[in-house]
Amino acid sequence: MLVWLGENINMEEKIVMIINKMADYLNVSQMKKLQEVLLQTFSENSISKEETSNDEYLRMFLDAKKIEGCSARTIQYYSATVERMLQNIKHPIRKISTEDIRKYLVDYQKINDCSKVTIDNIRRNISSFFSWLEEEDYILKSPMRRIHKIKTKQPVKEIISDEAIELLRDNCECIRDLAMIDLLYSTGIRVGELVNLNITDVDFEARECIVFGKGDKERKVYFDAKAKLHLQDYLKKRDDNNPALFVSLDAPHNRLKISGVEIRIRTLGRKLNMEKIHPHKFRRTMATRAIDKGMPIEQVQKILGHSQIDTTMQYAIVNQTNVKTSHQKFIA
């Protein structure tokens, strides 16, 4: 039917020519449908076109995410989430519909009895995959467009009080743990950033250090006088040559791992009968303190290393006491 267009014109050019000729006769919705039908027909009937497998699409997507700087942990999560979905639906990528994915998410929640937060995380990962396919022109339209964010309860997460911080400090069994707590509390860095710090990353005179956050993004963070003194005391007592800022207490004094920090802090919290004390809670506490004291949210965002300010807003819990004080000041 379209032989007159010539063999040297590729499929995309043919479709563009047809759509341009029909532009005066169809509305936007009809034009989109025409484009979809043409692309689908040409894809199915073209002898020269090799069908790309679902596994190959997933591999290309993961490669793109690696180039964007996503961590190995994030890549692994993308891979597991999308692969599980593709294995369940079993359709070629181009033929997966909104209803297919919606049914998959509903069934997944029923079978695994998981929370809405978990399902929304899965939805978000699958959405990233199909959005990438759409951007790269592998599909015309993402089937995730009509599957919106799942509403979840947003419980107010507690922060560590000033009294609790002092108790934690007073009950540290070694200077290393005291230095760790002070650095987490004053900088708000992630536990992964903490364990990756080297001694040479710290500028004691300026009371700042360079950390590499998600996607290997470099930023400066700042610590207080207490953290400086305790860090210096800790380093003076070290007798190893490891460049890491924090190392294990026992020989051969290897770089401390994330699990090591988490276990140490959780154990200390349980010993003092404190609920859910973990490294990330120091980060949330720092953000809340900063905003309560008047630091602009944009500056808090920069210190925490967030690419989106919405993420910072989730960390920054409004202190209820401050709300009451402000009400009495401005309203009552």
The structure tokens 């007592």 sit at 237
Considering the candidates 84, 214, 219, 278, report the single residue annotated as catalytic.
Answer: 214
Listing DSSP states for 129-148 in one string gives: HHHHHHHTTSSSS-TTTTSP
Q: Does residue 234 carry a catalytic annotation?
A: no
Considering the candidates 123, 176, 190, 228, report the single residue annotated as catalytic.
Answer: 190
Cis peptide bond prior to 252, omega within 30° of 0: yes
- Return the axis-axis angle of helices 297-304 and 279-292, rounded to nearest 10°: 160
Which of 194, 204, 201 shows the shortest CA–CA distance to 220? 201
Is residue 74 within 8 Å of residue 54, measured between CB atoms? no
Considering the candidates 264, 281, 283, 284, report the single residue annotated as catalytic.
Answer: 283
**For residues 266-283, b (16+ Cβ closer than 10 Å) or e, as one string?**
eebbeeeebeebebbbbb
Q: Does residue 306 carry a catalytic annotation?
A: yes
Distance, in Å, from the CA atom of 309 to the CA atom of 300, rounded to the nearest integer, reads 9
Q: Does residue 253 carry a catalytic annotation?
A: no
Distance, in Å, from the CA atom of 83 to the CA atom of 149, rounded to the nearest integer, reads 21
Q: Does residue 230 carry a catalytic annotation?
A: no
Is residue 184 within 8 Å of residue 283, measured between CB atoms? yes
Is residue 205 within 8 Å of residue 159, measured between CB atoms? no
Q: Does residue 270 carry a catalytic annotation?
A: no
Q: Does residue 66 carry a catalytic annotation?
A: no
- Give the gyration radius of the chain's Cα atoms: 27
Distance, in Å, from the CA atom of 96 to the CA atom of 54, rounded to the nearest integer, reads 11
Listing DSSP states for 16-50 in one string gives: HHHHHHHTTTS-HHHHHHHHHHHHHHHHHH-SSPP
Q: How far is CA 18 from the centre of its chain?
A: 42
Give catalytic residues, as residue numbers.
190, 214, 280, 283, 306, 315
